[in-house]
Amino acid sequence: MRRKADLPQKSCAHCNRPFSWRKKWTRCWNDVRYCSERCRRSAKPFRRAKEANA
């Protein structure tokens, strides 16, 4: 068993808070960008606005 402090961490692409690896992300850890579903949903409008301005 591992301690939470020993697990890999990333920072969220939307809120910049650190979050730790979860077992459900075993196969897709490299693709995970957001700490939660809420951050993922709220980041979409920001991406659309950036694409429209570019």
Dist. CA 9–CA 54, nearest whole Å: 31
Other Cβ atoms less than 10 A from the Cβ of 29: the count is: 12
Q: Report which of residues 24 and 47 the model is more confident about.
A: 24
Q: Per-residue confidence at 5, pLDDT binned at 50, 70, 90? A: confident
pLDDT at residue number 31: 94
pLDDT of residue 22 exceeding 80, the answer is: yes
Question: Tell me, what's the pLDDT at 13?
Answer: 92
Could you tell me the two tokens for 44?
Answer: 């979409």
pLDDT digits (tens, 9 = 90+) for 30-49: 999 999 999 999 987 766 55
